[in-house]
Chains A and B, each alone.
Chain A
Amino acid sequence: AQSVTQLGSHVSVSEGALVLLRCNYSSSVPPYLFWYVQYPNQGLQLLLKYTSAATLVKGINGFEAEFKKSETSFHLTKPSAHMSDAAEYFCAVSDRSGGSNYKLTFGKGTLLTVNP
């Protein structure tokens, strides 16, 4: 069974500082990996995805993530935090074998706070 671990349920950064949100996965084969963002009282928005092309993936709003197979990691970064980045971030994994399913397994989420 797949699993996703997000280290740190709450990360606080200053505006303009580097954002680093950690995600490690457990899967028997390299999976598809996703980061979603959830703003307060809203749904889940896809930030970026890794589907076996380039290991460094660029997403929306200046975020990027790097797939490291040796570390089974897919950490999310942004060079300079903005106040509008304050939200909850979820890492998710989808089994490549899929079949007719492709369900996502989510991590517990990391709440990002950006301080002025």
Chain B
Amino acid sequence: QQQVKQSPQSLIVQKGGISIINCAYENTAFDYFPWYQQFPGKGPALLIAIRPDVSEKKEGRFTISFNKSAKQFSLHIMDSQPGDSATYFCAASIGGATNKLIFGTGTLLAVQP
């Protein structure tokens, strides 16, 4: 019940296209859902995050869509660029002192020029 399932495992998108990565969870106690971007040899960096009381959050070309009833959330990257090529991890956590992140398995995105 603590798992976060992420798909697809890898994704190839043409420059200018839309990249979509999906995640699903079971634990309804999760109340924070961040997306991290990781480049090879670097640590993950927070990209965008959402709480379950909001159905959508947009920051620049990045949008999170959240479906509380379906227990699913997704990352949309509009106008994908070669510089977006990285591994993307969704995650979920329960608020509180510990706030441990439960990561998805990651999606390797390649944006072709």
**Co-assembled chains A and B:** no
Instruction: Give the interface of B toward A (CB within 8 A).
Output: none
Instruction: Give the interface of A toward B (CB within 8 A).
Output: none
